[in-house]
């Protein structure tokens, strides 16, 4: 049993999805999905323990050894992200019941859970696999499932957002497919670790450069790097609340994992950063993303879309950390991956509770909510403080490491820009605080009640995690530093 | 190097760019889906044509055949074709729903209606 953990991680949600269709009854399906996701979470914790004691796990699918068979390979980086994805997914599912009942018709609820589980399967598959083509297949599984989830939003704009995402997502995935094809053409292998061994021999060919370019652009579309982020704001804004929580906290993070894995483990740091102007491109786009997206966020009236733009900005910080090209920079990226998932998970879950009661996320509807829904609004405020990077929240920890990395490389002008970027976050968070706490409630409406407990509990678990990991940084920082060190070791 | 020697790649690139252009340039959602399909198909040809070995036969396990084409890209692309079909089906289903909700499948009309809706909120 214990040696099959890498594949069980993917199989559990994959098999749970069709069983949901048989169960039909929405209430049953809801708990069944929750249990499946919780099992995946337990599985990922066991995997991390196993990796920490035994080192990297290699699992041959069906007993066929790599490179002929497909290999699943779990090292610290994979295990770290597996825990992140499964924990957020489980918490989101805890709140899913009341939120979905309000936002979807009962017939659709079951299908939502099926799509949710398939999306989870895809994301976990990308993380677990050690095969380049497998990455593409799982990427498409998760993408198709997320298009479906987004299209279930009750506003008709959800359909249009889903369609746009489908077009851009498919272009991104096809670019990745071209990249993998060209790599295969030059090396004759699809196993990532085989690729890493064979690519240096053919490194100087145009085909390998082209493969790298196609692959990176494709992945950057998926992770919504500015200016390839156009699909993201509307998709997050109009999707059902629970889908937004799940996607915002996990989907882009997994895409960043793919980028890290290929830059460091497959192509190697040397190739990625010395032969190509990748560093300059990443730093420039990361910074532009931080500023452009934060400024646009300030002018949004739809609060869900406001935080979606803020997600694009936060991705800019992660890419910036990667662009520094040092161990500390990579640590900052890995920390921000985890921390951003906690912040956005908390904020979007709180917004789910807000939509449950108020029915709208327009800024106007927020007036007076600070008194009427104190717990929900407090969750948004703590999440917002974390986004800004106030000390004692997780946001501070990752920004600290990012600035540290920039100063280490003597890039102090960029460090200053990062701090100015954080001030922009103050503005858009303040807009919400001002309306919610300092404006009187509209006279004609009865006061809203606090969000249901089933939504509040997971929200506050995430809010407390935001504070806990901001104070006790042992787990996240220790692990991130270890992972960054191991990625640089492989690269050399 | 002979220009025609690698004609298969020229076909791939021409198909790829036409598909890509259609996706970007056309405002009609169905036409966009057509462009996307052409774009994806070009990649299928890329994979399949690279598995061809000069003077090779079909991959048959027999002493008589020493040189044969690489079967793996075919298998990979079967998977990619399935993914492509799923994407097209989902995309067209979305177009049907968009038509029901907006009464149009033209990008500019849909965006206009969205702007009106946002203005009224």
Range of the domain at B34: 7-120
Contact list, A163 vs chain B (CB under 8 Å): 29, 91, 94-95, 98
| Contact present, A307 and A296 (Cβ < 8 Å) | no
Q: Which residues of A touch B50 (CB under 8 A)?
A: 181, 184-185
Nearest-Cα distance to chain A for B5, in Å, is: 17
Angle in degrees, CA A39, A42, A43, rounded to 5: 85
Q: First-to-last CA distance in chain B? A: 62
Chain A interface includes B5 (CB < 8 A): no
Q: What is the ipTM of this complex?
A: 0.93
CB neighbour list of residue B99: distance below 8 Å, 6 or more residues apart: B105
Measure CB to CB from residue B114 to each of A140, A148, A160 and give the nearest one. Answer: A160
Which residues in B lie closer than 8 A to residue A136 (C-beta atoms)?
80
Q: List, as one string, the DSSP characters of A283-318.
A: HHHHHHHHHHHHHHHHT-SBHHHHHHHHHHHHHHHH
The DSSP H or E segment spanning A77 is helix A76-103
Reported as half-sphere exposure (CB side, CA atoms, 13 A), residue A41 has a value of: 16
CATH number where B25 lies: 1.10.287.3510
Read off the tokens for A14: 């994959």
pLDDT beyond 90 at A26: no
CB–CB contacts below 8 A, A to B? 72
CA distance linking residue B57 with residue A63, whole number of Å: 30
Please state the domain count of chain B.
1
**Is A443's pLDDT higher than 80?**
no
Residue A246 — pLDDT band, cuts 50, 70, 90?
Answer: very high
Q: How far does Cα A340 stand from its chain's mean position?
A: 8
B43–A181 CB contact, under 8 Å? yes
CA-CA distances (angstroms) from residue A259 to A84, A308, A378, B35? 17, 21, 35, 27
Which residue from A148, A156, A181 is facing B47, i.e. has the nearest CB?
A181
Interface of A with B in 128-187 (CB under 8 A): 133, 136-137, 140, 144, 147-148, 151, 156-157, 159-160, 162-163, 166-167, 170-171, 173-174, 177-178, 181, 184-185
Mean pLDDT to the nearest integer, B17-40: 94
Q: Is the pLDDT of residue A90 over 90?
A: yes
| Secondary element (H or E) of residue A404 | helix A394-408
Interior angle at CA A130, CA A280 and CA A166, nearest 5: 65
Residue B2 falls inside a structural domain: no
- Report, in this order, helix, strand and coil percent for chain B, each rounded to 5: 70, 5, 25
Give percent of chain B above pLDDT 90.
50
- Cα separation, A176 vs A168, whole angstroms: 12
Q: Is residue B1 in a domain? A: no
Q: How many CB atoms neighbour CB A481 within 10 A? A: 17
**Least confident interval from A236-240, A366-370, B88-92:** A366-370
Residues shown for chain B? 121
The pLDDT, as a whole number, for residue B2 is: 65
Cβ contact A212:A179 at 8 Å: yes
User: Closest to A171 (Cβ–Cβ): which among B23, B79, B80?
Assistant: B23
Whether residue B73 and residue A184 make contact (CB cut-off 8 A), yes or no, is yes
The domain segmentation of chain A, as residue ranges, is 1-275, 277-492
Record the tokens describing residue A477, joined without a space: 């920082």
The DSSP annotation for A418-438 comes to: HHHHHHHHHHHHHHHHHHHHH
pLDDT band at A258 (very low <50, low <70, confident <90, very high): very high
Report the pLDDT value the prediction gives residue A306, as an integer from 0 to 100: 93
Q: Which pTM does this prediction carry?
A: 0.93
Residue with tokens 């809801």: A30
Helices (H) and strands (E) in chain B, counts: 4, 0
């Amino acid at each position: 049993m214990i040696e099959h953990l890498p594949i069980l991680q993917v199989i559990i949600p994959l098999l749970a999805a069709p069983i949901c269709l048989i169960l039909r009854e929405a209430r049953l399906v809801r708990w069944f999905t929750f249990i499946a996701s919780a099992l995946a979470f337990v599985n990922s914790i066991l995997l991390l323990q196993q990796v920490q004691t035994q080192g990297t796990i290699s699992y041959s699918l069906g007993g066929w050894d790599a490179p002929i068979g497909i290999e699943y390979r779990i090292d610290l980086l994979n295990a770290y992200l597996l825990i992140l994805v499964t924990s957020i997914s489980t918490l989101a599912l805890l709140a899913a019941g009341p939120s979905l009942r309000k936002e979807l018709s009962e017939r659709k609820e079951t299908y939502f859970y099926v799509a949710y589980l398939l999306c989870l399967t895809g994301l976990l598959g990308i993380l677990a696999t050690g095969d380049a083509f497998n990455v593409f297949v799982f990427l498409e599984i998760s993408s198709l499932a997320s298009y479906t989830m987004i299209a279930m939003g009750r506003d008709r704009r959800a359909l249009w957002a889903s369609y746009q995402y489908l077009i851009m997502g498919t272009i991104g995935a096809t670019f990745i497919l071209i990249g993998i094809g060209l790599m295969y053409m030059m090396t004759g292998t699809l196993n990532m670790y085989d690729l890493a061994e064979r690519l240096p021999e053919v490194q100087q060919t145009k085909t390998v450069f082209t493969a790298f370019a196609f692959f990176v652009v494709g992945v950057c579309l998926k992770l919504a790097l500015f200016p390839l982020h156009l699909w993201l704001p509307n998709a997050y804004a109009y999707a059902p609340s629970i889908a937004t929580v799940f996607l915002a906290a996990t989907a882009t993070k997994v895409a960043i994992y793919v980028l890290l894995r290929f830059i460091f483990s497959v192509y190697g740091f040397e190739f990625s950063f010395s032969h190509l102007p990748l560093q300059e491109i990443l730093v420039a786009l990361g910074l532009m993303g931080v500023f452009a997206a934060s400024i646009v966020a300030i002018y949004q009236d739809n609060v869900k879309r406001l935080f979606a733009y803020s997600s694009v900005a936060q991705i800019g910080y992660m890419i910036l950390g990667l662009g520094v090209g040092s161990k500390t920079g990579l640590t900052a990226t890995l920390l921000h991956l985890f921390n951003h998932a906690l912040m956005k998970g908390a904020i979007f879950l709180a917004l789910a509770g807000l939509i449950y009661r108020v029915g709208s996320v327009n800024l106007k509807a927020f007036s007076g909510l600070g008194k009427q829904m104190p717990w929900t609004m407090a969750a948004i405020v703590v999440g917002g403080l974390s986004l800004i990077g106030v000390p004692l929240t997780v946001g501070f920890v990752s920004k600290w490491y990012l600035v540290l990395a920039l100063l280490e490389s003597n890039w102090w002008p960029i460090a200053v820009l990062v701090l100015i970027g954080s001030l922009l976050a103050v503005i858009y968070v303040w807009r919400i605080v001002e309306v919610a706490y300092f404006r009187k409630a509209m006279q004609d409406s009865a006061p809203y009640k606090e969000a249901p407990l089933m939504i509040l509990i997971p929200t506050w678990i995430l809010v407390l995690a935001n504070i806990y990991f901001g104070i006790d940084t042992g787990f996240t920082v220790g692990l991130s530093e270890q992972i960054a060190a191991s990625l640089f070791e492989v690269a050399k | 190097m002979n220009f025609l020697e690698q004609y298969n790649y020229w076909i791939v690139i021409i198909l790829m760019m036409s598909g890509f252009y259609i996706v970007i340039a056309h405002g009609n959602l169905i036409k966009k889906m057509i462009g996307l399909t052409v774009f994806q198909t070009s990649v299928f040809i890329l994979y399949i044509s690279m598995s061809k070995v000069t003077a090779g036969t079909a991959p048959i396990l027999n002493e008589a055949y020493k040189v044969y084409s690489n079967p793996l890209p075919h298998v990979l692309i079967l998977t990619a074709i399935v993914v492509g079909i799923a994407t097209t089906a989902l995309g067209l289903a979305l177009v049907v729903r968009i038509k029901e909700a907006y009464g149009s499948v033209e990008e500019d009309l849909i965006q206009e209606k969205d702007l009106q809706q946002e203005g009224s909120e």
